[in-house]
Structure 1
């Protein structure tokens, strides 16, 4: 595999608003530093057992991690006894995830897949799909977002759930509040901040202790918009948490976590 050293956004990085750009963003150097940004131990402490309990409470056992990245959540769930398949659109990320899991005594079942054609590459049904790490915001086109959600929906059992997270872009767009990184990006001396934001682009700058700098161009999803899309593709109930809490002030959370249920609950219809 050829390892690209530098990201390439062309002459005007702010014009790069294309879903397929993710293939060129996760170059080897950035992937190699990703775990510095996350800090597995720090992130495990900040999340606690939120995802494990959410899955267990809903009876999920077989999980598809569609944004495995370097493998953090896949490994955490495997350690907790779940059956996990790890998918990602970046071969570099999948290779790093497999290596990280092996170092911790686990063998990852990996699939290289683009969400928009997920069921072309993943031929199974799951109790839960998880899409974490602000990954869904790599989709710049609404048709891509709808297609991906429909693919997630299709790979779930009749009573399956989707867990999807996103940055609190509402706070960034409306109030110019900088995220605090208390929960998701726990690495020491690592900077992850918005360099430019408008209604259709959030360009984030990532700076590491060795002074290396990388960027990601993402779509700034608003919370209610994401919830609406989930329901429009068929999910019956969507519960949203702010930094792992169901009760929160709109401006406070760094991240929102949506849990979307495919099954119809008649007794909850009047809630």
Structure 2
């Protein structure tokens, strides 16, 4: 049963920076925060900043069926549906899925939704996909390396033999090494909210989301370094990984706000293979 208090208030206990657990995300996305999430994203501004990047990359690889494992309020699921892809929309938060379903209905679409924990994804999702997308800096909700490896292995198993994983993350390298700086034009495009870190160390990036009505929420996330993420992908079995910075082919390491990794499952033959 959901009470009014846990629909509106996040609970991190007396020492918020000590809360470093994967399962915390369920308590972070309270109803009141989820209802404000679309003003953080600003769908129209996000479409303009991102363009057709993800649609183009999926089409280049002949993708037809897509699993959106971090659906959130439905932005990418709806965009891909409108571009002609078959989409299944998953999320660990029931609040997010409910909002996504409502957003899609208001735009004339019916989402196929499933609530699923990535660590046991194939227990709840029973088909193979051409592509899995894990966007919105969502992978950083996993706080242990075992959880990250388990989730990536589940993604790998849910893909067809030539499938791809598209995963993004904030540029935590720059945050950890040089401090916070954001152009605030690619991912969080809304003008109704300010986003900034209030604590950063090697094991935690705690972000504050302050809205114009003075409502304040927080997210505790693990600061993934770029090279660490791609190493885990390779160790799980992904063969070729291409990384983009803010939807660009070329980048300097500290320039992008976000990295986008496209990891291919297809086996890459070496010269020594028969």
How high is the TM-score relative to the length of structure 1? 0.97
The match for 1:184 is: 187
1:25 to 2:23 alignment: no
Matched residues in 2 for 1:182 and 1:194: separation? 17
* Deviation digits for residues 160-189 of structure 1 (CA, Å, limit 9, x no counterpart): 000000000000000113222110000013
Matched residues in 1 for 2:205 and 2:164: separation? 28
* 215-224 vs 256-265, greater mean Cα deviation: 256-265
8 Å contact from structure 2 (residues 180, 197) kept in 1: no
The match for 1:40 is: 43
Matched residues in 2 for 1:97 and 1:7: separation? 21
Alignment RMSD, CA only? 1.2
* Deviation digits for residues 56-113 of structure 1 (CA, Å, limit 9, x no counterpart): 0011110000000000000000000000000000000000000000000000000000
* Deviation digits for residues 223-266 of structure 1 (CA, Å, limit 9, x no counterpart): 00000000000000110000001201111100000000000233
1:243 to 2:262 alignment: no
Q: How many residues align?
A: 269
1:77 to 2:114 alignment: no
The match for 1:231 is: 234
How high is the TM-score relative to the length of structure 2? 0.96
For the residue of structure 2 that corresponds to 1:106, the secondary structure is coil
For the residue of structure 1 that corresponds to 2:8, the secondary structure is coil
The match for 2:100 is: 97
For the residue of structure 1 that corresponds to 2:114, the secondary structure is strand
* 64-73 vs 242-251, greater mean Cα deviation: 242-251
For the residue of structure 1 that corresponds to 2:199, the secondary structure is strand
Matched residues in 2 for 1:76 and 1:5: separation? 29
Matched residues in 1 for 2:116 and 2:194: separation? 29
